[in-house]
Amino acid sequence: MENQMNHQPQDGQFAIQASHMDIYYGNFRAVKDCSLEVLPRKITAIIGPSGCGKSTVLRAFNRMNDFIPGCRVEGGILFHGQNIYAPDVDPVQVRKLIGMVFQKPNPFPKSIYENVAWGARINGYTGNMDDLVEETLVKAALWDEVKDNLKKSALALSGGQQQRLCIARALAVKPEIILMDEPCSALDPIATLKIEDLMRELSSNYTIIIVTHNMQQAARASDYTAFFTMDPDRSGIMVEYGETSQLFTRPRDQRTEDYITGRFG
Amino acid sequence: MINGHETLLSSQTPEMTRRNRSASLWQAIFFGAIVIGIIMLMVLLATIVNQAFGLVIIVDKVPAAALSDRPLEELSREELTTILQNRLSKNRFKTIQRDHAIETMPLSDLVNLVIDNVVQPQVKKSYPLLQSILNRSEILELAKSDYPDARVEFRSWLNRRFLTSTMSPRPETAGVRTAIMGSALLILITIVVAFPLGVGAAIYLEEYADSRRWINRVIQTNIDNLAGVPSIIYGILGLAIFVRALEPLTSGAAFGVVGQNGRTVLSAGLTMALLILPILIINAQEAIRAVPNSLRQASYGLGATKWQTIWFHVLPVALPGILTGTILAVSRAIGETAPLIIVGASTLIMKDPDGVFSSFTALPIQIYNWTTRPQDTFRNIAAAAILVLLALLLSLNAAAILLRNRFSRQ
């Protein structure tokens, strides 16, 4: 928290950094000239009205857009000094280091144990799997609720538990960054608070980027916030990026102020 | 105007009555459709069952009692051989010795041999089940007056002997063992060939092929159309490719099998596999498409490769659907007749298939063959064979459903 006033630290201090990134769906430019530097071990929220490209930007960070036919990213995203869109980069390796939690809880239709263990196993984890499963479930604040039912199907859990299981599943691969795409939009307020607490907990070890529709959530749970909106040509653009407290109290841009005060969006 | 809630919410408004009437009309129409379908099915089954059971008037050329004072089934191998030797001409006995290994064949087969050659029971007349029950006394009287030596017995044409004996030119002694084994082997080859090919093609089309490329669209359209191509055309294709062009392979000549032409069960199985491949691919594609995309994303998000995602997540979830599709496709294959006639299934064959390179016959072929014969009795055994085919089909489907349920539970 000591560095809060200066959100422009020196080079190499970013966990991941998008510079002048354009994202296209076919001929349509969905995101225009986005430059976003994400600080390590902080929670960065991306907010904005529907259709402004928040999720598209988030998915660009671990190349999940590769699976959308016709989607291409121009410009670059620097991760450990390397452009993850460079031709010699293995997208599978990128996704191992940059995990993802999705909008709708999507556990595998397998046991709770298998859900956590699978990712680690395919990534060649050779240590004690039982220990890893316990350790990750503890980190995801789910251990106490499921420790007696590890063999039970993950689909039998409640929505909030499923989402924490998905977080545990992502943690088991030992990523550096966790991307969360509206992780609480399908959950009730109590489950939402649990996830937010968990995010706060995790942010001491992981860099978290979260897309949210919920401005209170961004204000409550994030350290930094980026506000996106749509250009007149329907491309998404980043309007403002800064510390959450500053962006919500003293926005520099009129469009940000309109959005957070509810006059738009 | 509105006097209280009774009027406002009353169900007796004209509009409500009209709506109810039209709803019950449609319901009656839909229910009627089901009833008609069920009636058709019952009629079909009843016709077959009616033919497969009933009274028969049998005249034995030589009554079994004249051969021995004990039933034939209790006689030893030597006694049966002696009967054959004594009752038949020398040449006939030699022919039998040449065609059958009398010393080693199962005793029950030897008994059948004696019955076929010496006793020679002849079904003079057979009656369907319904008539047998309703006009029993008339039939008995008729038998007494027209065939004084005859015995009248109630026969289930579908009996153990029918299931376990080989083909024969005489309906009284013909059986479907060879045909059942032929059908089973045929289906086995079909599944072994078509299942991996079909699922593989479906995986390629759903997971790898870029549907925006014209070549993949052409492939997809072709597969959809191939599913509707008449089966006889597949038969001609099988004849040209498997029976003729690939004869060295399908006859087994390339593997050291001598004296066989390309009309083997292997050729037929491959043809059948071609026939069901489009159906199987389309069904497997549907099943794979039904796997929620969120599952694939979750897998990729953990750093899984495409193949890991397909193998560990897509296929297990799609498997019940793929199996259901396979059941449907195999059910079609098991009843197909036309392509088998073209690729050369034999209609009169005594030898059980003993490998993929043997000649064969199949149940539908036998049924088709028997229904075209003039004698009444052939229609009785055709009905019995239909029941066997239906039972085979049902048990195959039941097995597949059990398998599918096991996979869905996991």
Q: Which residues of B touch A106 (CB under 8 A)?
A: 292, 294-295, 297-298
Environment class of residue B116 by beta-carbon count within 10 Å: exposed (0-12), middle (13-18) or buried (19+)? middle
Give percent of chain A with pLDDT exceeding 70. 95
If you average pLDDT over residues B78-84, what whole number do you get?
84
Q: Are B248 and B264 in contact (CB under 8 A)?
A: no
- Closest CA relative to residue B338, chosen from B242, B271, B261, B264: B271
Strand arrangement, sheet containing A43-47:
A82-83, A71-79, A16-25, A28-38, A236-243, A224-230, A43-47, A207-211, A177-181, A98-101
Q: Which residues of B touch A62 (CB under 8 A)?
A: 301
- Closest CA relative to residue A229, chosen from A34, A27, A26, A73: A34
pLDDT of residue A10: 47
If you average pLDDT over residues B304-319, what whole number do you get?
94
- pLDDT tens across A11-35, in order? 457 889 998 999 999 899 999 999 9
pLDDT of residue B8: 65
pLDDT greater than 60 at residue A75 = yes
pLDDT greater than 50 at residue A3 = no
CA dist B388 and B381 (Å) reads: 10
Q: Which residues of B touch A102 (CB under 8 A)?
A: 294, 297-298, 301
pLDDT of residue B9: 66
Q: Are A5 and A28 in contact (CB under 8 A)?
A: no
CA dist A47 and B115 (Å) reads: 91
Q: Which residues of A touch B297 (CB under 8 A)?
A: 64, 67, 100, 102, 106
pLDDT of residue B307: 94
CA dist A174 and A187 (Å) reads: 25
- CB atoms near residue A204 (< 10 Å): 7
Residues with Cβ within 8 Å of B160's Cβ and at least 6 positions away in sequence, in order, are: none
What's the angle, vertex CA B347, arms to CA B59 and CA B238, rounded to 5? 165
Cα pseudo-dihedral A35, A37, A42, A44, rounded to 10: 0
- Ordered domains of chain A (ranges, CATH): 16-260 (3.40.50.300)
Q: What are the residue boundaries of the structural domains of chain B, listed by start? A: 50-156, 178-409
Q: Two tokens at A237? A: 């653009």
pLDDT tier at A170, thresholds 50, 70, 90: very high
Q: Which residue of B has its CA nearest to A154?
A: B410
- Closest CA relative to residue A52, chosen from A258, A218, A234: A234
- Closest CA relative to residue A97, chosen from A173, A39, A42, A198: A173
CA dist A74 and A163 (Å) reads: 32
Q: Two tokens at B72? A: 């034939």
Give percent of chain B with pLDDT exceeding 70. 97
pLDDT greater than 50 at residue A2 = no
pLDDT greater than 50 at residue A6 = no
Give percent of chain A with pLDDT exceeding 90. 67
CA dist B171 and B201 (Å) reads: 45
A37 sits in the region (left: phi over 0; alpha: psi -120 to 50; else beta) called beta
Any idea how long chain B is? Answer: 410
Environment class of residue B248 by beta-carbon count within 10 Å: exposed (0-12), middle (13-18) or buried (19+)? exposed
Residue A118 to residue B294, Cβ atoms within 8 A:
no
pLDDT tier at A59, thresholds 50, 70, 90: very high
Residue A119 to residue B302, Cβ atoms within 8 A:
yes
Q: Are B252 and B357 in contact (CB under 8 A)?
A: yes
The secondary structure element, H or E, covering residue A179 is strand A177-181
Q: Are B384 and B370 in contact (CB under 8 A)?
A: no
3-state DSSP call for residue B197? helix
Taking any CB pair shorter than 8 Å as contact, residues of chain B touching chain A are 210-212, 292, 294-305, 308, 312-313, 316-317
Q: Which residue of B has its CA nearest to A170?
A: B302
If you average pLDDT over residues B316-342, what whole number do you get?
89
Closest-CA distance of chain B to residue A6, Å: 32
Residue B302 to residue A122, Cβ atoms within 8 A:
yes
- pLDDT tens across A93-145, in order? 999 999 999 999 999 999 999 999 999 999 888 889 999 999 999 989 899 99
- pLDDT tens across B221-247, in order? 999 999 989 999 999 999 999 999 998
B295, B303, B313 member nearest A96 (Cβ): B303
CA dist A41 and B409 (Å) reads: 42
Mean of the per-residue pLDDT values for chain B?
87
A62 sits in the region (left: phi over 0; alpha: psi -120 to 50; else beta) called alpha
Q: Which residues of B touch A97 (CB under 8 A)?
A: 303
Cα pseudo-dihedral A173, A175, A179, A180, rounded to 10: 50
Contacts within 8 Å (CB) and 24+ apart, A120-127: A120/A172, A120/A173, A120/A174, A122/B302, A122/B303, A122/B304, A122/B308, A122/B312, A123/A96, A123/A173, A123/B302, A123/B303, A125/A172
pLDDT of residue B11: 61
Residue B298 to residue A96, Cβ atoms within 8 A:
no
Residue B304 to residue A92, Cβ atoms within 8 A:
yes
Residue B303 to residue A93, Cβ atoms within 8 A:
yes
Q: Which CATH class is domain B178-409?
A: mainly alpha
Q: Are A97 and A176 in contact (CB under 8 A)?
A: yes
pTM: 0.81
pLDDT greater than 50 at residue A174 = yes
pLDDT of residue A264: 65
pLDDT greater than 60 at residue B389 = yes
pLDDT greater than 80 at residue B206 = yes
- pLDDT tens across B157-201, in order? 888 888 888 887 788 778 888 899 999 999 999 999 999 999 999
The secondary structure element, H or E, covering residue B299 is helix B293-301
Closest-CA distance of chain B to residue A123, Å: 7
- pLDDT tens across B6-52, in order? 566 666 778 888 888 999 999 999 999 999 999 999 999 999 999 89
pLDDT greater than 90 at residue B288 = yes
Q: Two tokens at A25? A: 């769906």
DSSP string, B380-406: HHHHHHHHHHHHHHHHHHHHHHHHHHH
Bridge-based pairing of strands A207-211 and A177-181 is parallel
Residue A123 to residue B302, Cβ atoms within 8 A:
yes
Q: Are B188 and B359 in contact (CB under 8 A)?
A: no
Number of A to B CB contacts under 8 A, please give it: 65
Choose from A106, A179, A181 for mutation: most chain B CBs within 10 A: A106
- pLDDT tens across A187-217, in order? 888 989 989 999 999 999 999 999 998 888 9
pLDDT of residue B409: 64
Environment class of residue B31 by beta-carbon count within 10 Å: exposed (0-12), middle (13-18) or buried (19+)? exposed
Residue A100 to residue B301, Cβ atoms within 8 A:
yes
* Secondary structure letter of residue A263 according to DSSP: S
